[in-house]
Structure 1
Amino acid sequence: MSEPLLVITREYPFGVGESFVAEELRRLRRHGRVTVVPAFRTESPPRELPEGVEIDLGLADRGLWRGQGFGVVIPILRATFSEFLRFPTRLLRPRALLRLLGYSLRGGRVMGWWRSREGEGKARERVLCYWSNAEAFGLALCSIAGRGPILACRAHGFDVYETRAAGRYLPFRDVIASGSERLLPVSEDAARTLRARHPDAAERVRTARLGVCEPVEARLAPQPGGTDRLLISCSSDDPVKRLGLLASVVLQVARDAPAHEWRWVHLGDPPTAHLDALSPVPSNLKIETPGQVPAAEVIRTMMSRRPLVFVNMSSSEGVPVSVMEALACGIPVVATSVGGTPELVDDEVGGLVPVSVDARDAARVIRDVADRSPTLRESARRRWLERASDAMAEHALIEGLGPKFASPPSAEIVGSET
């Protein structure tokens, strides 16, 4: 039996994050054996894995210092010293220095884990790191030394744009690029950034968007009755999501259109503190904050409530999954022009606003899109189908990985005849 493709995650299937990993595993499983390898595990029970996907807890159960002999420590020290030589001023920042040390420790941990697998007599394995993070760094060092896997690394937003990183610094980018057979960013914007940063690796960069599945409930369900003009958003209270600005914009929408009754549904971290700072809330605005909900519930809410506009005010993004989900549900989108968002959103499916937008200007765009919403729904669905559908994402991922990651003909495929 052929060796499976190993997919390295941060915690998935443990914890509540990385919810979109499951769909990617399903796509990969349709093309061969897949084993998910979480780098860490939490106390919570694991989520159910997609059919046919296996799990390996060898890395998650490994201690930080176990097996870190000279064969691991020396390459880590060399790479760390090289970073100090390249970025001496940047590494004077405490947060940047802590990030570098964290990468060094975690990179050594994954190198020790990989060396232990070598002793099992396995053929050279194929590995997809779901993030260009410390685990990707450690495996890239192994590959550069000629003892590592055939390595591909996903790249999203926080692991591409240094402006989003602690201390505005991402460690060991050159090592990851040099040791990877493929770099798979989720947007063309991220791909351009990687090619400019690593010209020697430019030919190995392939854009592979995440994509989302078609909602099960219905296709373009009719707008429910009622007088409220409904807006929806979905985000955490991470600083880059700018939940305070989002709240300010929605309040401004209601203030500038007092003849209408508005309703705002926000899924994710409640904006309570921001609303308190912005009070009073206009009398023609009702606010619902269900809190953090599972990904499936986000889709159900979008499909059942049929909002006029989905709103995103982030200062930085890769390609927002929530924007792809909104388009799949036929919901027009107003979002900031950051990262890969402009690759999905324009005047045909909603509206883009500059990242420096103020509340009044953003509110004006939202009101305009809300007025045009019924005429934009078909275009929103079509945009999802062309640029963010599950089928598109699967094709881009498999093509992006290339022939070195293809499963041998004997590999067991889910759904194939035996």
Structure 2
Amino acid sequence: MISVKTEKELILITNRYPFYPGEEFLTLELDYLCETFNKIHIIPVNARDFSRKRDLQSKVEVHIPHSFRRKTNLWGKLMSLSESQGRTWFIDELPNAIKHGPKGVGKLLSWVSNAVILRDYIEGSIFSERNINEFVLYSYWFTLAPGISLIKERNSSLPVYSRGHGGDIYEERHHPPYLPIKQKMTSLLDKIYLVSTNGKEYLANQTPEYSDKLTVSRLGTLKPLKLCKPSTDGITRLVSCSYMVPVKRLKLLVEVLGYCKANIQWTHIGDGPERHKIEQLVQDLPKNIEVHFTGSLKNEEVMSYYMQNTVDFFINVSSSEGIPVSIMEAYSCSIPAIATDVGGTGELVNSQNGVLVQKDIKPLVLASILDELASRPQGEKLKMREAALETWNKCFNADTNYTKFAKEIGR
């Protein structure tokens, strides 16, 4: 880990982190930020369950503003419009919100209200009487950046940044398909670090006048202690790793496996609301398909699984993605991937290191692809494994990516 030390303090806006669930991949990035910044203040704006918390370094302080401990009622939201900055933002954006009906207006009001609350907390409880030039502001999600954008509007010299992933930039993933004040935030933030080229191009098409503020800064994973080994017993071992929700389309994967002729062992790592349904569906799979569910595993346990077990392919059939870190982890262990071409997945998966398939691929077609992969000569499979590892080392090595990112926002 190589980084440049700064005496500045970082204010990091998260969804729930360091509280569970979610944002698992921020843990690794935070280690690099801790190496760079003198102190880190984390504000988890949507945390409600404070019973489970990740371990943090001593230089990290977690702030839980009282106003974020509970949902703000309508009157509280309307109060955010009583001061000029919040009111101006609301009025300027209102024509766009109205296009999406009452829900659009309600979403805008909630965003402005939360932004004002966050602005007031940072200015009153963290900045206080200190010199604001001692701080850097960074939102891990673009949708959580309105509050620090308000602060930037008042303090033009203050460095303010945001990442952009998937659901926080792609409107079509939301109902209604509307993410308020994107134009305003893009105009104010010093730089927006997108985790994929797809995300950068998407945002650039919406805000072409600010395209110079958009840059790709990829996520990454650590180099494992050893690589995963392939199967040699005639069984093809597939692994998927995700929260068990509809967007991951595990039901589709079960249907695909039902058509496969090869001997396949599928292991799913993860838990979630669809687990019981999927466990019921796999009961009807033919005898050539064996299924295992590990339940939820910590990140280090996932990597340990790859190092201690044989895995031939990682599979991801999601209908939507930002850029899947789960595939980066597999590649770091030399496991090739089969994945749907959604979001930035095509920047990871290609014909050398795996198989990229259409989002709307038919189950029978994907089953034939799995059977064909299972029957390939071992030499061809080994070349795919080598290419997967090379892709990780070139593009998704955490030490390279996070060192560069921390240095950029800390200078």
The answer to whether the Cα contact below 8 Å between 2:7 and 2:37 also exists between their aligned partners in 1 is no
Instruction: Please tell me the residue identity of whatever aligns with 1:246.
Output: L
Q: Report the count of equivalent residues.
A: 392
Unaligned runs of 5+ in 2: 1-5
Number of the residue aligned with 1:243: 250
* Residue 14 of structure 2 corresponds to residue 9 of structure 1: yes
CA–CA separation in structure 2 for the residues paired with 1:150 and 1:67: 28
Number of the residue aligned with 2:143: 133
Residue of structure 2 aligned with 1:354, choices 358, 361, 369: 358
Instruction: Please tell me the residue identity of whatever aligns with 1:261.
Output: N
CA–CA separation in structure 2 for the residues paired with 1:400 and 1:166: 35
CA–CA separation in structure 2 for the residues paired with 1:390 and 1:77: 41
The answer to whether the Cα contact below 8 Å between 1:207 and 1:400 also exists between their aligned partners in 2 is no
Change (3 A) 1:67 1:353: closer
CA–CA separation in structure 2 for the residues paired with 1:68 and 1:91: 18
SS at match of 2:323: coil
% identical equivalent positions:
26
- Tell me the CA shift for residue 166 of structure 1: 3.3
CA–CA separation in structure 2 for the residues paired with 1:241 and 1:77: 39
Instruction: Please tell me the residue identity of whatever aligns with 2:266.
Output: W
Instruction: Please tell me the residue identity of whatever aligns with 1:33.
Output: N
* Residue 40 of structure 2 corresponds to residue 31 of structure 1: no
* Residue 87 of structure 2 corresponds to residue 77 of structure 1: yes
Residue of structure 2 aligned with 1:54, choices 48, 53, 60: 60
Number of the residue aligned with 2:209: 200
Instruction: Please tell me the residue identity of whatever aligns with 1:130.
Output: Y
The answer to whether the Cα contact below 8 Å between 1:38 and 1:57 also exists between their aligned partners in 2 is yes
- Tell me the CA shift for residue 16 of structure 1: 2.9
Residue of structure 2 aligned with 1:294, choices 295, 298, 311: 298
Which structure 2 residues correspond to residues 261-276 of structure 1 after superposition, within 5 A? 261-269=263-271, 271-274=275-278, 276=280
The answer to whether the Cα contact below 8 Å between 1:213 and 1:390 also exists between their aligned partners in 2 is yes
Number of the residue aligned with 2:129: 120
The answer to whether the Cα contact below 8 Å between 1:99 and 1:166 also exists between their aligned partners in 2 is no
Change (3 A) 1:58 1:107: same
- Report the RMSD for the aligned CA atoms in angstroms: 2.7
Instruction: Please tell me the residue identity of whatever aligns with 2:130.
Output: G
CA–CA separation in structure 1 for the residues paired with 2:89 and 2:250: 38
CA–CA separation in structure 2 for the residues paired with 1:299 and 1:377: 16
Instruction: Please tell me the residue identity of whatever aligns with 2:163.
Output: R
The answer to whether the Cα contact below 8 Å between 1:84 and 1:91 also exists between their aligned partners in 2 is no
Instruction: Please tell me the residue identity of whatever aligns with 1:198.
Output: T
Deviation per residue, 1:132-159 (Å, 9 max, x gap): 123x101102212337842100100001
SS at match of 2:40: strand
Unaligned runs of 5+ in 1: 407-418
The answer to whether the Cα contact below 8 Å between 2:340 and 2:356 also exists between their aligned partners in 1 is yes
The answer to whether the Cα contact below 8 Å between 1:309 and 1:366 also exists between their aligned partners in 2 is no
SS at match of 2:392: helix
The answer to whether the Cα contact below 8 Å between 1:184 and 1:205 also exists between their aligned partners in 2 is yes
TM-score (norm 1): 0.85
- Tell me the CA shift for residue 323 of structure 1: 0.6
Which structure 2 residues correspond to residues 136-175 of structure 1 after superposition, within 5 A? 136-146=145-155, 149-175=158-184
Number of the residue aligned with 1:89: 99
Which structure 2 residues correspond to residues 265-344 of structure 1 after superposition, within 5 A? 265-269=267-271, 271-274=275-278, 276=280, 280-344=284-348
- Tell me the CA shift for residue 395 of structure 1: 4.6
The answer to whether the Cα contact below 8 Å between 1:38 and 1:60 also exists between their aligned partners in 2 is no
SS at match of 1:206: strand
Number of the residue aligned with 1:389: 397
Change (3 A) 1:62 1:158: closer
CA–CA separation in structure 2 for the residues paired with 1:10 and 1:73: 26
The answer to whether the Cα contact below 8 Å between 2:192 and 2:215 also exists between their aligned partners in 1 is yes
* Residue 227 of structure 2 corresponds to residue 223 of structure 1: no
